[in-house]
Structure 1
């Protein structure tokens, strides 16, 4: 299924020259989907050279022209929505409806940033020098190296490509080797839309052949990553010698507070749907639930009942509500987290075991109650179908417990009292906060975290500026 694609360099598809092929597996049945001739380090260097050459004309192209091209990309994406959803589902395992929604959200990124390309504004500041004026303008940072994770194989790509291209940057993108075909579909839309050769390039292959040439090259002026905190830390070290601009969306471990005045039924309906979307493999998903003691048993019981009713199955089955984990390593990791919670005295309310189904990597939707704060299910990001429950009574102690984490990507709360809501927004240490809602990821708003969850923002009017340098000109006439 990958025979028409491969590496996308200087506006054309080609076969990589790497030593070993990239083998892609369907997590829903453990079978091989296909093979890709991997990129060699020479291929990656060619992609870099192409991006460097294309930058000269692309950065000089008007924002209006760039906007028209991005709109054309979005139109191409709309035309293949059904096929793209199938590719996403087969590569990542997520249910078809979730895959379709991801493609649509990716299309939104190109539409939004097309308009942002027309709104790259500067400003004038009154000068202290007689006859002078200070002009502040924004210019593209240059060649961008972008790295994306497997859990959202297209929206993560779109969040980097769309603002970079809108800003006038050129890009070399390295997607996860576990889900490369989904990214390739976006690049085919770029090609069909008429994006000039070299403006966007894609390389797929092993770390030594694709990551190292990009992260060490002085041609690359900015790096954008979606990945683990450990990878982000390594990338900061690796890029230090060439002092690159960095933006990173890293790990999360989102707390959810259920206050005593919450609409519990609404909280349950939204929380279960959110927690088990993409089998819990979502950086902003709700991981650790702090429930007021007066609503604790009600909430745990309702959550477990809803979780137990979820239809687990193959992603292309339209009845499926939760698909598999991405690979056997994630299965083992989830088993270890559940075992740790059990060993520390927590109670498995539902789930807590593998599901044998068609050779895929399935694990039951799991709810664990009475979880101590030092258990892995609360202390670390579980990145799987585990909802960890604990109770609280004292609000000051609550803030200490909730904020006692290196991760600070997203946080949520359910409450009705306006004063409590305002206090909650102020007290939560997080890059993003949802109140009575989990809807944080949209093209029109900034997405990103603080502390060990990263730096920089994607989306919103802020997103394009991560791909631009600020220039001051003092002009005296």
Structure 2
């Protein structure tokens, strides 16, 4: 089996120690690739390459940098099917969802190629006739980007797009579970003729690579998508050099169905939010609040939809729910379901491992959920939806906000006034009103509270990679 390599300063290289590891397909438990396993030393080399390449890359015009991003966008679209297949093989996502991810991932490059041309400064009226005051925006410098396995391509381009457009160079540490997706994207970047050192890829020890990115003074910013616990450690480590950070962390999204909602639409929205990517999504439904008066009716509609979902290998185009990413993830889901049932939840459907070979868990619905159940406050990352009931708007808003997380929230209503009131009172960075899939490249993505710092996407995303400089000229 050929070993896939790291990419440092425009060259593909094995790990300095010669160490490798195997990547398995969660749908079959079979080894699908062997990858070089890097550590701190390779990261030092990658950081040096990014530091050395930074002045030249930052000096290019925004239009010139956009040209590279557009070339990479075009190559991604040509390779769309192959990139999607890599996602499915490495983490199990159904192929149709994987194809959608590639579309979104490529759009982040195209969007930011244009946003880079709109990095505007200011001219401020001076206090005296002999002064001129200017505000300019400049790239922050080399960036350390750490990306997750659940959206292995779109989370990568959501960071690369604005960073590169702003004039930053990048060292990427992708998730060890999905390295081939990042490797293929970097192969395409090589075809797009990015200058050596602008893009660097180091795969391997999360601890060693992360520590080097934090401790190396040449890295001026850390951008991370992943768990809140890891994000906190990165923030703490970055504080010693006061590095700029942006963090897209965990979530525990409430999904509220009011008594005036269209129940068919709400149930379909719940399925889209919860069972997409087998529930392995930071913004997916974690708590489903249903008004007491419509509880039984809604549960019947939703249960029927969930029971109809097809489980299977993501390469089968009819598959709607693929496997979980690894055994640890599967055991976590099993534990949360068992804990909920012991504490009084009622199983409506699912509730066990699928008969399929591989790491599959049945799409599951739990009624009569309560706040003392682990699933009520621990992020699930699996295809399980607990249902709670409520009676008043004030009550459900309080329950929805009763969490350390604040990434995404959803609610369904046909009352215009309620749509405004509730969306303003929910303590979340993203709110979907009758919309289970609000993520788009042109809007800011990010959370409040312990769900993160900063925003990705929209015109706000590129600001995370810029420094604001005040220039006062006296003459």
TM-score by length of 2: 0.98
Task: State the Cα distance separating 1:270 from its structure 2 match.
Answer: 2.0
Instruction: Give the match for residue 411 of structure 1.
Output: 409
Instruction: Give the match for residue 263 of structure 2.
Output: 264
Instruction: Give the match for residue 451 of structure 2.
Output: 453
Q: Pick from 357, 371, 387: which aligns with 2:385?
A: 387
Q: How does 1:178-189 map to 2 (within 5 A)?
A: 178-189=177-188
Distance 1:217 1:439 in 2: 38
Distance 1:232 1:291 in 2: 32
Instruction: Give the match for residue 42 of structure 2.
Output: 43
Q: How does 1:53-68 map to 2 (within 5 A)?
A: 53-68=52-67
Instruction: Give the match for residue 17 of structure 2.
Output: 18
Instruction: Give the match for residue 470 of structure 2.
Output: 472
Task: State the Cα distance separating 1:208 from its structure 2 match.
Answer: 4.2
Distance 1:335 1:129 in 2: 70
Task: State the Cα distance separating 1:131 from its structure 2 match.
Answer: 2.7
Q: How does 1:209-224 map to 2 (within 5 A)?
A: 209-224=208-223
Contact 2:6 2:13 in 1 (8 A): yes
Instruction: Give the match for residue 131 of structure 2.
Output: 132
Contact 1:377 1:386 in 2 (8 A): no
Instruction: Give the match for residue 29 of structure 1.
Output: 28
Q: Pick from 358, 361, 377: which aligns with 1:363?
A: 361
Does structure 1 residue 173 correspond to structure 2 residue 186?
no
Instruction: Give the match for residue 116 of structure 1.
Output: 115
Instruction: Give the match for residue 275 of structure 2.
Output: 276
Query: CA-to-partner distance for each residue in 1:366-416, whole Å, 9 max, x for gaps?
Result: 000110012122222111101110110022222211100000000011001
Distance 1:352 1:2 in 2: 40
SS in 1 for 2:220: strand
Task: State the Cα distance separating 1:209 from its structure 2 match.
Answer: 3.6
Contact 1:129 1:476 in 2 (8 A): no
Contact 1:337 1:377 in 2 (8 A): yes
Task: State the Cα distance separating 1:287 from its structure 2 match.
Answer: 1.4
Distance 1:209 1:392 in 2: 47
Residues 2, 162 of structure 1: alpha-carbon distance in 2 compared, 3 angstrom cutoff? farther
Task: State the Cα distance separating 1:426 from its structure 2 match.
Answer: 0.9
Instruction: Give the match for residue 352 of structure 1.
Output: 351
Instruction: Give the match for residue 426 of structure 1.
Output: 424
Task: State the Cα distance separating 1:343 from its structure 2 match.
Answer: 1.2
TM-score by length of 1: 0.98
Does structure 1 residue 231 correspond to structure 2 residue 230?
yes
SS in 2 for 1:342: helix
SS in 1 for 2:183: helix
Distance 1:266 1:91 in 2: 32
Displaced runs of 4 or more, over 4 A: none
Q: How does 1:62-211 map to 2 (within 5 A)?
A: 62-211=61-210
Distance 1:42 1:336 in 2: 39
Instruction: Give the match for residue 292 of structure 2.
Output: 293
Distance 2:165 2:2 in 1: 28
Query: CA-to-partner distance for each residue in 1:291-325, whole Å, 9 max, x for gaps?
Result: 11111111112111111111000010111110000
Distance 2:273 2:36 in 1: 36
Query: CA-to-partner distance for each residue in 1:13-41, whole Å, 9 max, x for gaps?
Result: 12122353122110001111121121242
Task: State the Cα distance separating 1:207 from its structure 2 match.
Answer: 2.6
Aligned length: 475
Contact 1:281 1:384 in 2 (8 A): yes
SS in 2 for 1:113: helix
Task: State the Cα distance separating 1:274 from its structure 2 match.
Answer: 2.3
